[in-house]
């Protein structure tokens, strides 16, 4: 199962800073580092806090409710990310308004057998 972190609320920059903070607090492994995949909802603020690298892959999706109008974009992006089997998945949502619906979406088939919700950060 892929450990999954949800980050929601705040503006784009605040979410990127929160994600960077969470990633920096992860214990280092002596083995080859696991790839972290980040799905960011919304448009960048112009300040790059997270920089893509071989161990940090960033997917950006258009702003819009991920359980309503943005569901297809979320599902397609999520499926692509899962196929790559990252060591950690971070999903960044602009709003906490429908967080219960997102949790429910991620706990249904097929995601219930693929993702393990580990932590939530609400800004």
Q: What residue has token string 């580990």? A: 118
- pLDDT of 73 > 80? The answer is yes
What pLDDT sits at residue 36?
Answer: 96
Coil, strand or helix at 89: strand
Mean pLDDT of 10-19: 92
**Which CA distances in Å does 104 have to 5, 16, 48, 54, 76?**
14, 24, 31, 31, 17
More confident residue, 91 or 61: 91
More confident residue, 33 or 12: 12
Mean pLDDT of 71-91: 93
Lookup: tokens for 85: 């089997």
Rounded Cα distance between 116 and 114, Å, is 7
Rounded Cα distance between 17 and 28, Å, is 19
Mean pLDDT of 87-108: 90
pLDDT band at 65; cut points 50, 70, 90: low
Q: What's the sign of the alpha-carbon dihedral 12, 50, 83, 89?
A: negative
Cβ neighbours of residue 47 closer than 8 Å, sequence gap 6 or more: 13, 16
Lookup: tokens for 51: 């920089």
């Amino acid at each position: 199962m892929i450990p999954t972190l949800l980050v929601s609320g705040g503006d784009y920059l605040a979410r990127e800073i929160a994600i960077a903070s969470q990633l920096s607090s992860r214990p280092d492994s002596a083995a080859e580092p696991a790839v972290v995949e980040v799905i960011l909802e919304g448009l960048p603020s112009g300040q790059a806090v997270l920089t893509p690298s071989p161990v940090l892959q960033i997917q950006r999706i258009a702003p819009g409710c991920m359980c309503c109008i943005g569901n297809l974009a979320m599902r397609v992006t999520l499926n692509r990310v899962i196929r790559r089997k990252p060591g950690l998945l971070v999903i960044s949502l602009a709003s906490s308004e429908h967080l219960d619906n997102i949790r429910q979406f991620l706990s249904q088939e097929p995601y219930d057998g693929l993702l393990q919700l580990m932590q939530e950060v609400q800004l």
